[in-house]
Structure 1
Amino acid sequence: MNRTEPDARVLARVADGDAGALAELYERYGRPLLAFLFGLAQDRGTAEEILQDTLLAVWRSAGTYQGRSSVSTWLFGVARRQAHNRLRGKPPPDTAEPSDRADPLPGPEELVVGGEWLTTTLARLPLAQREVVALHSLHDLTHHDIAEVLGIPVGTVKSRLHLARAKLRECLDG
């Protein structure tokens, strides 16, 4: 496995049916994608299932990548579409009930988001704002890349980010 190989070439290998290339993309982007999906699903198990759906979609559609965006932006777009397909009409999980999972190690949400308070506060944001915050703050995407992932104008990205920050500041003050 060549870690210095450009992402576009790895994705081209996926399009050619190279399962090792898909594993390489997973190694490179699995954690950030899972953290992003957790932010959308608010449930680790569901986020993991959506990540698997995302990898399957990448396997099937790698040949459609045209290089108009970075591979990472394309992957986040695929993940977002898979999440919206899965979560459409599904109520958010009840976070008041304790989790019954036995895993004592911190999951990606604890490592990336930074704790229960922030996770709870982010969950109060509307999904559209939560997506923008996650892509900007947690995954360091530019406004342009976020606009591309979400299929919205850059101005809308900035507006959603501004509204989300105001809401988060309100939560800090209150």
Structure 2
Amino acid sequence: MPLPASDKDIDQWLVRLCEGDEQAVIAIYHGYMRSVTAFVRLYVDDVVAIEEIVDDTFLAIFSKPDQFEGRSSFKTWLLGIARNQCHNWLRKARKEPAINARTDDAFGTLVDPTPPILDHLEQQQVRQIVRLCLMRLPEAQRQVLYWVFYEELSVNETAEQVGCAPGTVKSRMFHAKSRMADCVRRRLDGGIA
């Protein structure tokens, strides 16, 4: 199995992908699948839909790899495709609500997965509250949280990824954290968020 692709070597992998190299498909998928999945979870909370959107995102690039023009990093371009796929799915879901849609906890990895039973129930409730509060943030604030906390980028790197000034990133982070804290606090105290 090839090493996962990264933005450093993506040009080589894209050339190989255009030549029909199956190893390039595997390398690109393994290099970016976790980031794309985490990003899609910012928009969609249906497990089946998340998998579908991630697959559709990769199919879009695998079918037309020559569309990447290098005006941004490959990951930024890829996440832009993922965002468009999410918006398309959400638009369709509003028209045709899913029956028995299953959901997954996007923040399951934030809490120890093997707590005692009573603690586990409490932690599930907290994760649900955090997820609800996160989904109530404006898209711009969710994106900044993604880049800073999941991708562990600096403020300047995040500003480059989202296309705004570093001061704007700091402002969005401040407001996102403030809104999250307020929402979580109200939900935990039994109030309405």
TM-score range for the pair, normalised by the shorter chain length = 0.7 to 0.9
Task: Please give the per-residue CA displacement for 1:105-132, whole angstroms capped at 9, x wherever unaligned.
Answer: xx67244565333222212212332222
Residue of structure 2 in register with 1:104 after alignment = none
Gaps of 5+ in 2: 112-126, 187-193
Q: 1:22 to 1:148 in 2, by over 3 A?
A: farther
Q: Is the 8 A contact 1:38 1:47 kept in 2?
A: yes
CA RMSD between the two structures: 3.1
2:130 matches 1:133: no
Contact in 2 for aligned 1:39/1:130 (Cα 8 Å): yes
Shift in Å, 1:76: 1.6
Aligned counterpart in structure 2 of residue 27 of structure 1, from 24, 27, 30: 30
Cα distance change, pair 14–157 in 1 and its aligned pair in 2 (3 A): farther
> Structure 1 residues 141, 15: CA separation in 2 closer, same or farther (over 3 Å shift)?
farther
Whichever of the two has the greater Rg, that structure is: 2
* RCO comparison, higher one (Cα < 8 Å, 6+): 1
5 Å matches for 1:81-160? Answer: 81-88=84-91, 90-91=93-94, 109-112=106-109, 114=111, 115-143=127-155, 146-147=158-159, 149-150=161-162, 152-154=163-165, 155-160=167-172
**Residue identity (%):** 33
Q: Distance in 2 between matches of 1:24 and 1:64?
A: 18
**2:4–2:30 contact (8 Å) kept in structure 1:** no
| CA distance, structure 2, for counterparts of residue 55 and residue 13 of structure 1 | 16
Q: 2:178 aligns with which of 145, 158, 166?
A: 166
Q: Distance in 2 between matches of 1:64 and 1:37?
A: 21
Q: What TM-score do the two structures reach when normalised by structure 1? A: 0.73
Residues matched between the structures, number: 164
Alignment-derived partner of residue 69 in structure 1:
72
Residue 148 of structure 1 and its aligned partner are, at CA, apart by 5.4
Superposed displacement of residue 12, structure 1? 2.4
TM-score, structure 2 normalization: 0.67
